[in-house]
């Protein structure tokens, strides 16, 4: 108790010293950064997830090819979940003697769970959101149904043996997910009417879905997953293959990576400061020993002080973090969903605990040294404590970093891999720096030049300077990695969905109409994608392996074999497709029995180069051997195909054509002309979906950019800490030199050049390191191509030299402005 009081007294007195303040400040910043980022990413992430949930209609969806166990719907209530069910099937609609093949969705009670369908009250009227399903006996139909059947609202259509009144125009269904590519006209009906239609009979092809929403979907999914049978699967927001979920996944990874890097940087700042703080406490510790304090007393004194510091930094940092996250949210008001989920306690706890972990890892080892300070130091100033073994220091620091990784990262092994790569890199850098500084540059011209003098000064303090260079290099390296990743990621996302992305799909274009159709669009300067032929075919077998829909073969569960795939042919590979294995066909005259398969599908179905694929196309069996695997940008709203064949391969089979094009708002009315001129052509408007995706991308972008500010701040803190740590020594030297008659200009220039060389060196190392890490991250983590940005290799080292020289000069300018006497009085001991 007495010790705690004494430690409190000490802490209060120490709080007046600059070092203690930097330590406290760095710690507060680390805690605040973690808290802010945790809170922000937690809440925004949950909001974004909620938006993504709209795309699949719930937080968790059970898909099944046969009626799932009713208990799976009821039991979810025990988990406190909301539920509803859907049944989707293709059927023939009839009205006024016209018939139309359409896709019908029957929505159960509670629909919609996530998101809202949008409807309009007239064919071309403005749409609005509703939170219900059609009443019994009513259906909502999309414009295609209305146009093709030639009905108006209020008229009736038949589904099976039951007649329904069409009451609204369906313009958007939240739960279409990545399936918006589904090409049939759509109708939404009430699930309670389903039995009366008598459409669904044993053996009918129906897609059953149970939708779940609520806090506990994860534990419910854990309960449900092991019970699934063949032909059944669970889909959550993250397993949806749509563009937004991929963007969201990348964003989440990226935000967490940023948080980790910011904390890592803060740790570097704290480690640097703690080192200096500890060294300055040698005298204090020796004096305390002289005055009779035991080693235990001294340790307790410092440990309690550190605990108090962590506590204080924890509270202040959490408060600050809370406040900053609110500021961030208010800055993003326009973009962020207005009703954000309430923040959990976990982000605050994460921030709070971070402070303790950093202290343990970065501050404890140098503090432990204080125990070893020999009391004789009061007489002999040069006596240093026995240093802890490097093993101890690094293992403690490493264990702290590991803890942080576990705390902040969701992909622990991957992150650990990156961190060990960074670790190895740091060791390499350390060796390189030390070697460089020891190298005497013996060219006489260089030696006496300003840069040479800077180098010489650097080399003189090789040990402390190599520490600083590494700190700067690592800081800049991490910042560079993050900045480049950001540019690439955002660029990538934006490229996938450019401003002029097609917003209409046209399909069922008849072969004889293709030319006219192209002319129609081109004459009105409507930008469009190429027109692709499309043949529907079912994949029957891979080599001799027969694929049975819903079979026990895990492959049998794949959606791609439960439905017909779109096949096309093309002499050239589509613009944004990329061959990852095998080769594209060279000429028109090449083999006709080959196929290029989309890579992810190939992976799921275990299709290899050279495999023989058997298709059933309009009742005819055709075989193709796999010539290449290629990646496809599914999110770009151009026609995309799992299977591409060489021209001529599908000759003689029934074919229609497909394309996508962009209509500006004011060109909307052209659709009416288009539909009347090409009555067989079906047009699918995807504006709403594009808007939805675009909003999410914009939010993600802003969030990412704001997070970057933190990394910049912590990076700057490292810079300050490192410069500050050598401040006393530099000031004393400067004062001594001035006392010995050196001119101010000389000293100022010396400092400037030393810091400049320091910046240049660390900049070069940072670029080297960043290149290595980037290569790894792009290849393994994000699986993206990247372009080398050559100018950065030169710009960064020079920018670093200038900035670090500037900051160094500002901080050490005391050395030339204050009188040598007062500096010596303050900094000599």
Partner 1 sequence: MEMSLPPTVLIARNLTQRVAIANTGLTILSEVSLEIKSGQSVAVIGVSGSGKSTLLGLLAGLDVPTSGEVVLFGHHLNQLDEDGRAQVRGQHVGFVFQSFQLLPSLTALENVLLPLEIRGDDDPAGKARAYLERVGLENRETHYPNQLSGGEQQRVAIARAFVTNPSILFADEPTGNLDNATGEKIIDLLFELNREQATTLVMVTHDEHLASRCERAIKLEAGRITDDYLVD
Find the binder of partner 1 among 165, 297, 667, 702 (CB under 8 A): 297
Q: How many chain residues bind partner 1 (CB under 8 A)? A: 30
Q: Which is nearer to partner 1, 8 or 435 (CB)?
A: 8
Instruction: Tell the smallest beta-carbon distance from residue 719 to partner 1 (Å).
Output: 25
The window from 271-279, 287-295, 427-435, 774-782 that contacts partner 1 (CB under 8 A) reads 287-295
Contact 55, 244 (CB under 8 A): yes
Instruction: Tell the smallest beta-carbon distance from residue 733 to partner 1 (Å).
Output: 19
Find the binder of partner 1 among 293, 335, 402, 540 (CB under 8 A): 293
546 binds partner 1 (CB under 8 A): no
Find the binder of partner 1 among 204, 219, 294, 817 (CB under 8 A): 294
96 binds partner 1 (CB under 8 A): no
What stretches of 375-411 show up as alpha helix (H) in DSSP? 390-408
Instruction: Tell the smallest beta-carbon distance from residue 301 to partner 1 (Å).
Output: 9
Find the binder of partner 1 among 4, 8, 9, 121 (CB under 8 A): 9
What is d(CA 604, CA 71) in angstroms, rounded to the nearest whole number? 30
186: region left, alpha or beta (phi > 0 left; psi from -120 to 50 alpha): beta
Q: Which of residues 327-386 bind partner 1 (CB under 8 A)?
A: 374-376, 378-381
16 binds partner 1 (CB under 8 A): yes
Q: Beta strands of 37-81 (E only): which ranges?
A: 60-64
What is d(CA 674, CA 659) in angstroms, rounded to the nearest whole number? 14
The two three-digit tokens of residue 734, written as one number? 């400067």
303 binds partner 1 (CB under 8 A): no
Q: HEC string of 327-379?
A: HHHHHCCCCCCCCCCCCCHHHHHHHHHHHHHHHHHHHHHHHHHHHCCCHHHHC
283 binds partner 1 (CB under 8 A): yes
Q: Which is nearer to partner 1, 445 or 829 (CB)?
A: 829
527 binds partner 1 (CB under 8 A): no
Instruction: Indicate the DSSP class of residue 561.
Output: G
Q: Which is nearer to partner 1, 293 or 792 (CB)?
A: 293
581 binds partner 1 (CB under 8 A): no
- Give the phi and the psi of residue 381 in degrees, each rounded to 5: -65, -25
- Here the contacts of 131-134 (C-beta below 8 Å, separation 24 or greater) are 133/107, 133/108, 133/188, 133/190, 133/191, 134/107, 134/167, 134/168, 134/188, 134/189, 134/190
Find the binder of partner 1 among 284, 353, 742, 784 (CB under 8 A): 284
Q: Which is nearer to partner 1, 283 or 611 (CB)?
A: 283
Find the binder of partner 1 among 292, 445, 679, 741 (CB under 8 A): 292
The distance of Cα 515 from the centroid of its chain, to the nearest Å, equals: 43
Contact 731, 812 (CB under 8 A): yes
The window from 211-219, 292-300, 454-462, 522-530 that contacts partner 1 (CB under 8 A) reads 292-300
826 binds partner 1 (CB under 8 A): yes
Q: Which is nearer to partner 1, 87 or 735 (CB)?
A: 735
Instruction: Tell the smallest beta-carbon distance from residue 303 to partner 1 (Å).
Output: 16
501 contact partners, CB below 8 Å, separation of at least 6? 636, 637, 662, 690
104: region left, alpha or beta (phi > 0 left; psi from -120 to 50 alpha): beta
288 binds partner 1 (CB under 8 A): yes
582 binds partner 1 (CB under 8 A): no
Find the binder of partner 1 among 295, 420, 775, 819 (CB under 8 A): 295
- Here the contacts of 770-777 (C-beta below 8 Å, separation 24 or greater) are 770/476, 770/477, 770/480, 770/481, 770/484, 772/421, 772/425, 773/418, 773/421, 773/422, 773/425, 773/477, 773/481, 774/481, 774/484, 774/485, 776/418, 776/421, 777/418, 777/481, 777/485
Instruction: Tell the smallest beta-carbon distance from residue 17 to partner 1 (Å).
Output: 4
Q: Which is nearer to partner 1, 201 or 382 (CB)?
A: 382
Q: Which is nearer to partner 1, 70 or 296 (CB)?
A: 296
The two three-digit tokens of residue 317, written as one number? 């940092």
What is d(CA 467, CA 1) in angstroms, rounded to the nearest whole number? 39
Instruction: Tell the smallest beta-carbon distance from residue 819 to partner 1 (Å).
Output: 13
Find the binder of partner 1 among 4, 8, 17, 323 (CB under 8 A): 17
The window from 9-17, 170-178, 541-549, 792-800 that contacts partner 1 (CB under 8 A) reads 9-17
Contact residues: partner 1, CB under 8 A: 2, 6, 9, 13-14, 16-17, 283-284, 287-297, 374-376, 378-381, 825-826, 829
């Amino acid at each position: 108790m007495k010790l705690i009081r004494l430690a409190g007294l000490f802490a209060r007195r120490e709080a007046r010293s600059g070092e203690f303040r930097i330590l406290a400040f760095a710690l507060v910043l680390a805690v605040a950064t973690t808290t802010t980022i945790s809170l922000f990413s937690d809440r925004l992430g949950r909001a974004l997830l909620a938006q993504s949930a709209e795309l699949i209609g719930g937080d968790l969806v059970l898909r099944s090819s046969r009626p799932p166990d009713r208990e799976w719907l009821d039991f979810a209530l025990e988990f406190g979940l909301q539920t509803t069910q859907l049944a989707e099937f293709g059927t023939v609609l009839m009205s006024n003697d016209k018939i139309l093949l359409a896709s019908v969705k029957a929505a159960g009670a509670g629909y919609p769970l996530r998101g809202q369908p949008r409807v309009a009250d007239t064919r071309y009227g403005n749409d609005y959101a509703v939170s219900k399903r059609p009443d019994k006996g009513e259906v909502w139909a999309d414009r295609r149904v209305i146009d093709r059947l030639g009905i108006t609202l209020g008229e009736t259509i038949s589904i099976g043996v039951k007649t329904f009144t069409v009451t609204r125009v369906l313009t958007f269904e939240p739960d279409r997910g990545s399936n918006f590519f589904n090409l049939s006209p759509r109708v939404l009906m009430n699930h309670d009417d389903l039995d009366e239609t008598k459409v669904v009979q044993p053996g009918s092809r129906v897609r059953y879905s149970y939708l779940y929403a609520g806090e506990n979907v994860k534990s419910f999914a854990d309960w449900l997953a092991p019970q699934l049978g063949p032909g059944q699967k669970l889909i959550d927001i993250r397993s949806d293959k749509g563009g937004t979920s991929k963007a969201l996944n990348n964003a989440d990874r990226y935000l967490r990576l940023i948080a980790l890097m910011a904390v890592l940087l803060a740790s570097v700042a704290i480690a640097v400061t703690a080192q200096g703080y500890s060294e300055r406490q040698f005298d204090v510790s020796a004096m305390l020993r002289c005055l009779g304090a035991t080693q235990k007393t001294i340790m307790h004194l410092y440990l309690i002080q550190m605990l108090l510091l962590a506590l204080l930094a924890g509270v202040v940092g959490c408060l600050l973090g809370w406040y900053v996250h609110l500021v961030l949210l208010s800055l993003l008001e326009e973009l962020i969903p207005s009703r954000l989920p309430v923040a959990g306690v976990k982000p605050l706890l994460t921030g709070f605990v971070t402070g303790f972990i950093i202290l343990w890892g970065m501050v404890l080892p140098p503090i432990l040294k204080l125990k070893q300070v020999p009391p004789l130091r009061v007489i002999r100033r040069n006596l240093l404590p026995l240093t802890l073994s490097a093993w101890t220091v690094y293992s403690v620091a490493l264990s702290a970093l590991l803890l942080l990784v576990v705390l902040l990262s969701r992909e622990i092994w991957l992150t650990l891999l990156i961190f060990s790569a960074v670790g190895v890199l740091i060791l390499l850098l350390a060796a390189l720096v030390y070697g460089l500084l020891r190298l005497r540059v013996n060219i006489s011209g260089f030696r006496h030049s300003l840069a040479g003098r800077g180098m010489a000064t650097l080399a003189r303090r090789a040990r402390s300077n190599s520490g600083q260079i590494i700190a700067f290099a690592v800081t800049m390296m991490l910042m560079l990695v993050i900045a480049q990743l950001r540019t690439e990621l955002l660029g990538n996302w934006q490229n996938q969905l450019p401003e002029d992305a097609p917003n209409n799909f046209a399909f069922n274009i008849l072969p004889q109409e293709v030319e006219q159709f192209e002319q129609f669009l081109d004459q009105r300067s409507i930008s469009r994608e190429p027109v692709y032929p499309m043949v529907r075919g079912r994949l029957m077998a891979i080599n001799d392996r027969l694929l049975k829909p819903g079979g026990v073969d895990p492959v049998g569960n794949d959606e791609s074999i439960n439905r017909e795939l779109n096949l096309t042919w093309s002499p050239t590979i589509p613009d944004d497709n990329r061959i990852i294995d095998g080769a594209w066909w060279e000429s028109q005259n090449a083999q006709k029995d080959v196929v290029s398969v989309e890579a992810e599908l190939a992976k799921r179905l275990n299709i290899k180069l050279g495999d023989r694929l058997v298709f059933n196309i309009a009742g005819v069996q055709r075989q193709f051997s796999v010539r290449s695997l290629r990646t496809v940008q599914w999110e770009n709203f151009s026609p995309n195909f799992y299977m591409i064949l060489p021209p001529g391969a599908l000759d003689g089979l029934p074919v229609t054509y497909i394309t996508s094009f962009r209509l500006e708002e004011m060109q909307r009315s052209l659709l009416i002309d288009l539909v009347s001129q090409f009555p067989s052509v079906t047009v699918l408007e995807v504006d709403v979906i594009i808007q939805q995706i675009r909003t999410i991308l914009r939010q993600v972008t802003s969030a990412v950019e704001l997070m970057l500010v933190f990394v910049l701040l912590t990076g700057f803190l490292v810079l300050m800490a490192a410069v500050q740590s050598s401040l006393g020594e530099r000031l004393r030297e400067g004062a001594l030199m001035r006392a010995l008659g050196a001119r101010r200009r000389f000293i100022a220039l010396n400092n400037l050049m030393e810091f400049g060389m320091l910046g240049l060196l660390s900049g070069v190392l940072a670029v080297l390191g960043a290149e290595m890490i980037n290569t790894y991250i792009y290849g393994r983590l994000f699986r993206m191509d990247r372009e080398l940005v050559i100018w950065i290799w030169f710009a960064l080292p020079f920018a670093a030299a200038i900035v670090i020289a500037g900051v160094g000069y500002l901080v050490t300018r005391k050395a030339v402005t204050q009188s040598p006497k007062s500096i010596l009085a303050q900094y000599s001991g």
